[in-house]
Every structure is written in C-alpha cells, then in structure tokens.
Amino acid sequence: MLTAGPKGTNDILPGQVEKWQYIEQTIRDICREYGYSEIRTPVFEHTELFLRGVGDTTDVVEKEMYTFEDKGRRSISLRPEGTASAVRAYVEHKLYAQPQPTKVFYTGSMFRYANVQAGRYREFHQFGVEVLGSNDPAVDAEVIAMAMDFYGRLGLTNLELHINSVGCPTCRKSHREELQSFLRPRLDKLCKMCQSRFERNPLRVLDCKENSCQEAGRGAPTTTTGLCPDCADHFALVKTYLDTIGVRYIVNERLVRGLDYYTNTAFEIMAPDIGAQSSIGGGGRYNGLVEQVGGPVTPGIGYALGLERVLAAMEQQGAAFPAGLTLDVFIAALGEAAKNSAFAILNDLRKAGLVAEMDYMGRSLKSQMKYAGKFNTRFTVIIGDDELNRGMAVLRDMVVGQQEEVALGVLRDKIQSKKQEEKK
C-alpha cells in the first residue's frame, strides 16, 4: 500500500514536530551542561557487532533485528540500539587514548521488528549517553541523575526510578548456580525462550515479561544478595551519591541485565501514566562490553531513553510545550504591483532576521488577515495600489490594535525598533 507507511513507523508532521524539536533542544542543552559531546554513528552496522555488543540471547537480537545481506554479501543490520555503535566507534578511533572519561550522547532512529502496539514501534527514537573509561560510582549517580533531570526539565512528574546491582562476573557465578538450582525444578513452567536459554543465560528469566516466568521466578535468589564486597561497596556508594543530591529511587532486586558484560548498576525509569509500555528509559554499567567488541578492558555506563514514550508521557500529563510557529510580520498585498513590492519587502525583512510571511494563494484582504491570525502574527503590513503609489504601507500592530502609515523605505527599521522596545 503506497498511501500508508510501513507498519510500526510514524510520520512526524508539522504541528507535532515542534514538540520533538523542543525535546531535542532540551537534550542538547542538558548534554552541554553535563559535559557530553554528540556522537553520530551509522544507522546500519555489521550484524556481528550487535550479536556481540547487544548479545545473541537477547530478544532484541534473537527476534527483532532487521538483518539483510547487502550486494557485497555482508550481513548488515539496522541498529536496534545505540550503545554497541558508540562503543565500536570508541574502539575504532582509539578514543580511550584521550583523557578519560569519554562522555558522549546520541539521538536517532532505532529499528526493531517488534509487535506493534501503543508505545511500541518498529522505528522509534532514542536519546542516549555513554560514559567510557571510569568505574567511579559517582559516574553511575551522575548518569542516573542526568536522566531524571532531563525528565524533570520536560515537566514530567510521577516517575519511578528503579535501581539494582547485578554485580560482576565473579560474584555472579555463584548466583547463577543458585538460580539454576532454584529454577531447574520449575523448568517446564518457563516460556519456550527462557527454556532454551536456561543453560546459557538463566538471569534472563528474572526479567522475562511472560507471566509464567514471572511466577516461576518468584522467590528466586537475587543478584543483590550475593554481591562480592567490591560490588556491594560500589552499589552502596551509588546510592549514597544519589541520596546526596536528593534523587529518589526504589531498589528493585528483580531488575537485571542478563549478559556477562553488564556489571553492577542497572536502572529503569517508569511512567505509570502511559499504560502497558511504561518504561521510558533504562541503562546500566557494562564494564565488559568494550573488551567484548575488541577493545581494551574499559569500564562503561550509559542509558537510552525512548522519545516516543517521553512525548506520550508529557502529553498525558499535560506538560507545557513552547508555542508553535509565530510570525513577526505578515505582509498582506492587494494587486499585482503591490504583490511585487511585498515580495521585495518580505525578502528584506527575512534578511534582517525577522520571521515574515506573505500570501501565495491569491486570498482576499480579509482572508489574508484571517490567515495571518493563525500564526500569532505580531505586525501586519498592508500594501494596496493606493498606498504603493504614495510609497507607503499600513503597519498594523496586532497586539495593541493600532495602525499607522509608514514609508516603505523605513518599514524594516520601524518594525525592528518596535520589536526592540518590546524587549526592554
């Protein structure tokens, strides 16, 4: 069907796009203040990167990746998330040789062949950050606090921040064995997917969304109880730093990231207002990931926030958005000669940095004024043949409701000085 986009994709139209631009501006502002530089990586990568960098036992990679062979017979995948690419770029360009930590952010489309529903799409947008090169628990707290600050700046309230620690591969080894012994008698209750990955990755059962797995995992040993002293200290410090700056959290021992390169801190933010797909962001530490994709042993942590869901939560909560397109000047012209003159003035005003527009639909004067009204126009310039013959135009102040005749030659200066006055 050519009149509809592919399932799970969205067009962002004028009227809505201003909201996106506002969110994107907030992202750029907050990233500058927290010291994050933007990184732009390709939308597609070698499939292998995601197999290693996201994990071949994850749902995202196992079931949802857009993978194809290109004309050079390479296996290529559209990125399902941003961390693997950022880490690949970090290694490829040896960013670790620069003063550390490396702090980057990204925004862009991600692609997952997901079951489409409200809040779950096949092309969606994420804002994410990565901090590479430091294992300081203060960095974990900074990253978490920054995500919460971002939501707060957008006016979101009533959010739940869940945090947990999944430990390191060493302390996880004994937990894994305990978990397997706990789950083994319940194996037939697990979903097919969890059964098949039970040996490779039993931790996944704890965060599987299937009811049967949630039921079977009830009472299972959690990662937090078996943390080694270093990991326990790390987690305690993350919480202390969060307490210091007043970030409120819930420790959720079922929150896991099930792969070996995820270590220590895991977190997720929920907006209960937006329905079933309530996760509006999540992240965690991944001290084994850089090595996993072929780089030197390097600690790292990051998050990814889903922008469709952030926007949905904002709309649901009635958050404020800045006004849409507003015009400084609308030029209403009557007659061909006046139109030509209006076109020159339009050009002049725009070059002076004013937001200006004129009619291109041959409207009557009355409907030109009505059209101008749609854009919260500040001033209207009216030029008819009569005014034109005298080298004049009518300048109407749409807020005050007064008008005066102004010589065409000084129109621009007049509007600018009125605008200046207003600012004072």
56 dihedral zone (left: phi>0; alpha: psi -120 to 50; beta): alpha
308, 328, 357, 387: which one binds ligand AMP (CB under 6 A): 308
259 binds ligand AMP (CB under 6 A): no
Amino acid letter, 159: L
Give phi and psi for 281, each to the nearest 5: 170, 160
Among 25, 110, 19, 105, CA closest to 314: 19
130 binds ligand AMP (CB under 6 A): no
From 91-99, 157-165, 300-308, 405-413, span contacting ligand AMP (CB under 6 A): 300-308
CA distances for 26 relative to 33, 127, 161, angstroms: 11, 11, 20
For residues 145 to 174, the per-residue mask of contacts with ligand AMP, x marking binding by CB under 6 A and - elsewhere, is: ------------------------------
From 279-287, 291-299, 335-343, 381-389, span contacting ligand AMP (CB under 6 A): 279-287
Residue-wise DSSP of 78-102: E-S-SHHHHHHHHHHTTGGGSSSPE
Which residue's CB comes closest to ligand AMP? 306
β-pairing, 356-358 vs 329-333, is parallel
124 binds ligand AMP (CB under 6 A): yes
Count of CB atoms situated within 10 Å of the CB of 75: 12
111 binds ligand AMP (CB under 6 A): no
Distance of closest approach, residue 7 Cβ to ligand AMP, in angstroms: 12
284 binds ligand AMP (CB under 6 A): no
Residue closer to ligand AMP, measured from CB, 282 or 295: 282
β-pairing, 329-333 vs 102-111, is unpaired
Angle (CA) 199 54 75, round 5°:
105
- Match 């600018």 to its residue by tokens: 416
Distance of closest approach, residue 170 Cβ to ligand AMP, in angstroms: 25
In sequence order, the 6+-apart residues with CB closer than 8 A to the CB of 50 are 61, 65, 77, 79, 80, 84
126 binds ligand AMP (CB under 6 A): yes
77 binds ligand AMP (CB under 6 A): no
From 116-124, 159-167, 367-375, 391-399, span contacting ligand AMP (CB under 6 A): 116-124
176 binds ligand AMP (CB under 6 A): no
Amino acid letter, 64: E
Core vs surface per residue 184-198: b (16+ CB within 10 A) or e: eebeeebeebbeebb
52, 88, 103, 112: which one binds ligand AMP (CB under 6 A): 112
Residue closer to ligand AMP, measured from CB, 112 or 412: 112
Positions in 9-68 near ligand AMP (CB under 6 A): none
Q: How far, in Å, CA of 308 to CA of 58, rounded? A: 22
257 binds ligand AMP (CB under 6 A): no
From 25-33, 117-125, 177-185, 213-221, span contacting ligand AMP (CB under 6 A): 117-125
350 binds ligand AMP (CB under 6 A): no
Q: 307-317 vs 17-34: helix axis angle to the nearest 10?
A: 110
Positions in 355-384 near ligand AMP (CB under 6 A): none
CA distances for 401 relative to 342, 354, 378, 395, angstroms: 22, 20, 10, 10
Residue closer to ligand AMP, measured from CB, 180 or 292: 292
Distance of closest approach, residue 268 Cβ to ligand AMP, in angstroms: 7
- Residues near ligand AMP (CB under 6 A) are 81, 112, 114, 119-121, 124, 126, 279-282, 304, 306, 308-309
